[in-house]
Amino acid sequence: MKRQLIYLLLFTLTTALFAQNTDESKVGTYVLPELLKSQSGEEINSAEKWNAIRRPEILKLFEDNVYGQVPKDFDKIEFKVLEQNKKALTGKATYKKVAIYVIRNKKIITILTDLFIPNNAKKPVPAFLVINHRGGETMNASPENEFWPAEEIINSGYAMAGFDVKDVAPDHKTDYVNQVLTRLYPEQMTQPSGMRALGAWGWGASRIIDYFETDKTIDAKKVIVVGHSRGGKAALWCGAQDERVAIAVSNESGNSGAKISRRNFGETVETITRVFPYWFVPKYATFANNENNLPIDQHMLLALMAPRAVYVASAADDGWADPKGQYLALVAAQPVFELFNFKTNLPENMPSNNVQEIQLPLGFHNRDGGHDMNLFDWRQFVKFADEYFKNNNNK
Ligand code: GTR
């Protein structure tokens, strides 16, 4: 709880220090880069062409200009259940602490995962997996903990998992290199489009999905990767990279997450690259006050989830993350989902506060209140996941 307060305070301070436009009348106009035209000018009018041509192009543009590559190779991965309690949450769940050891070139890193699995499940369960930047102590299963409400999630028939990003890349300007980058992929640091912190966090989530694939109680084809704010940026990039992610949930990910960068409202590329340069490749800073020259915008990141599902959550008082800019990105991503025969038709205007909009495989809400992830948000994620898994025949 204390840690959450500190985050809230820091967040309020940053937003106050770097006053950005929050006046809708001053937003101005912008033109988004084309989703459905390839770099050589070819019309992308089918799912096949999207997968073969445009998707790889856009992934590479995000790698080179924003988040860096995500290395896929390592020599070995091993899992060890360090703790297990079959009577957790008053007997409703099994708790496991799992260590994930990843080895490359004789170097090792360890990611610790906290995991609750419902005991009454008759078959493998879908799992929520949180990329947590708020510290391990925020993954406690106490009923007051709305950020990671394990019991509520268990009651809804899902497993609840999470890991602390510090195991893969500490959220710190210089220390971020200390885990996966220095130990496993040192060459990434010498490459201009090598992995940086946000990419490393997503890489960590993928290793937990590797573990899920070995745990018979989990349905690894129904993994919902969730991130709040900076964690939400990482969740979207993870989902774009790792097609095992069934649903990517972005909670108030804002700038360089779900928000349209060209929309001059809330946090800008200038601020984010100045305050958090280590989240991105160095080239991203060249787009500070120069967003119109970005070869991508964030609607393209959401589109990389197609035909899988993406959920964008906002909070009405979180102007820094630009609720409307996040909604408009989802609207602008729709043409790619249409290529996969999803007839989504999101309203032009953002839905009213606290009203969930579901047009599978897309979902959105903008709740009352400020920057946080709470029970209201989680209940919407569960409703969305329930609908999606019920309706998606592939699952
Ligand atoms: C802010 C940052 C945002 C967002 C947020 C958070 O200070 O400017 O982009 O990531 O932190 O993670 O809570």
Residues having CB within 6 Å of any atom of ligand 1: 11, 14, 229-230, 254-255, 267, 272
Per-residue pLDDT, 395 = 39
DSSP 147-164: SS-HHHHHHTT-EEEEEE
User: Of these residues, 156, 193, 206, 229, which one is catalytic?
Assistant: 229
22-48: average pLDDT: 96
Per-residue pLDDT, 31 = 98
255 C-alpha vs ligand 1 centroid, how far in Å? 8
Q: Are the C-beta atoms of residues 300 and 333 closer than 8 Å to each other?
A: yes
Per-residue pLDDT, 14 = 67
Q: How far, in Å, are 109, 243, 279, 289 from residue 225 at the CA level?
A: 21, 11, 19, 31
pLDDT tens digit string along 270-289?
A: 999 999 999 999 999 999 99
pLDDT reading at 207 higher than 60: yes
Out of 9, 13, 14, give the residue to mutate to test ligand 1, the one with the largest number of ligand atoms within 8 Å of its CB. Answer: 14
Write the residue with the smallest CA distance to atom 6 of ligand 1: 229
Please name which of 72, 44, 76 lies closest in space to residue 58, comparing C-alpha atoms.
44
Distance of alpha carbon 123 from alpha carbon 6, whole angstroms: 40
Residue 212: which H helix or E strand, with range?
helix 197-212
Spell out the alpha helix ranges (H) of 268-374: 269-275, 298-303, 323-339
Per-residue pLDDT, 17 = 65
The amino acid at residue 176 is: Y
Per-residue pLDDT, 394 = 45
Please name which of 301, 374, 370, 303 lies closest in space to residue 15, comparing C-alpha atoms.
370
Map out the domains of the chain as residue ranges: 44-391
230 C-alpha vs ligand 1 centroid, how far in Å? 6
pLDDT reading at 8 higher than 80: no
Q: Are the C-beta atoms of residues 203 and 168 closer than 8 Å to each other?
A: yes
pTM listed for this prediction: 0.96
290 C-alpha vs ligand 1 centroid, how far in Å? 20
Distance of alpha carbon 72 from alpha carbon 203, whole angstroms: 8
pLDDT reading at 374 higher than 60: yes
Q: Band the pLDDT of 219: cuts 50, 70, 90.
A: very high
pLDDT tens digit string along 44-100?
A: 999 999 999 999 999 999 999 999 999 999 999 999 999 999 999 999 999 999 999
Length of the chain: 395
Mean pLDDT of the residues in the chain: 96
Protein fold of 44-391:
Rossmann fold (3.40.50)
Per-residue pLDDT, 15 = 64
| Index of the ligand 1 atom closest to the CA of residue 133 | 12
Concerning whether 365 is annotated as a catalytic residue, the answer is no
Distance of alpha carbon 113 from alpha carbon 131, whole angstroms: 10
pLDDT reading at 315 higher than 90: yes
267-271: average pLDDT: 97
Per-residue pLDDT, 16 = 63
Distance of alpha carbon 161 from alpha carbon 138, whole angstroms: 12
Per-residue pLDDT, 6 = 77
pLDDT tens digit string along 228-257?
A: 999 999 999 999 999 999 999 999 999 999
pLDDT tens digit string along 112-168?
A: 999 999 999 999 999 999 999 999 889 999 989 999 999 999 999 999 999 999 999
Q: Quick one: tokens of 292? A: 């119109």
Per-residue pLDDT, 10 = 75
Distance of alpha carbon 56 from alpha carbon 44, whole angstroms: 13
pLDDT reading at 393 higher than 60: no
